[in-house]
Structure 1
């Protein structure tokens, strides 16, 4: 009886070992298939880039057109500003400097003297633009703000009020569209007109689906 019982235990242990081995083989096979799938996806992207010709932008004679929602230099309209300091309150780093003096009456509580933003510190989050009650702030597509002196990046109300320039309307350069803004099947922006529609819906069409029809 004990010999038969011992034989059953040995057979049961052998079955457990076999199940464990089969489970390990299954896990190894699944991991191998996943690894092969990931490698195939990476190679597909690599082979896709092999078919593309290199595109060189001859900067500064050629410039890429920023995306429609690009956050560049902030434009400021002093005539609309009421010195409410909402931009300072919503700024993550309390960046805008609003210099004002008390107004002559309750209706005109503040008289603005100067407004400045240091673009050497600004993170271009656009909170000030979004929450401004009078819409005196707006984002432009200007990105060439480099300077040898960081103090020159502190723009006052005069510098902020300068009308923004756009790549598309600058006659001294050749505007080029980014790869994501090209029509379907086009890979070289040099051969595509600026006004030709891009492939896929644009941000305004995504926000307003009725424009797609």
Structure 2
């Protein structure tokens, strides 16, 4: 008799555990379904890239812009760069005892766009632009000299052939 009661007790507790697991599984499925439904009414994030472009944020780190006339060839940008990237060629003018900048170049194939060169430049001759389309078929075309670095980028907003899209990022 005791054995029968014990077996019946185990069977009842097994049914209870099975019922609790079923309810828990149904709750998880319901939570997942509610998350799926909450995403169903959102607009798509995909943009048609060549014809639509995203307006970059204010702190976007794009191609570096260089102003040749402001540079004093102090080489601070080279010292703060984690990979010693900017190449600064200068000549010492002995009559006025100052450096004269001859050439300035940055290889964007190697640049990590950290922004240290811009932050530490004492004359503010370097700045970040919103230009992000730097792809080429030849790696050597990514080595920009002072002429290419001095070229002002075309603003995405000013290009009438492209539809601009403003995306607001919500961070949790």
TM-score range, shorter chain: 0.7 to 0.9
Alignment of 1:136 with 2:90, yes or no, is no
- How far is the alpha carbon of 1:48 from its aligned partner? 2.6
TM-fit CA distance, 1:106: 5.1
Whose helix proportion is higher, 1 or 2?
1
What does the per-residue CA deviation read over 1:87-116, in whole Å, with 9 as the maximum and x for residues that have no partner?
Answer: 0000000000001111233542x1111000
Q: Distance in 1 between matches of 2:123 and 2:34?
A: 50
The aligned counterpart of 2:94 is: 104
Partner of 1:114: 103
TM-score by length of 1: 0.62
Task: Indicate whether 1:64 and 2:65 are aligned.
Answer: no
The 3 A distance-change label for structure 1 pair 112 and 57 is same
Aligned partner of residue 180 in structure 1, secondary structure: coil
Question: Which structure has more RCO (C-alpha within 8 Å, separation ≥ 6)?
Answer: 2
Q: CA RMSD, aligned part only?
A: 2.3
Query: 2:105 and 2:65 mapped to 1: Cα distance?
Result: 11
Distance 1:172 1:138 in 2: 26
Runs of 4+ aligned structure 1 residues displaced above 6 Å come to none
Give ranges in structure 2 of 5+ residues lacking alignment. 1-23
Any unmatched runs of 5+ in structure 1?
1-32, 182-213
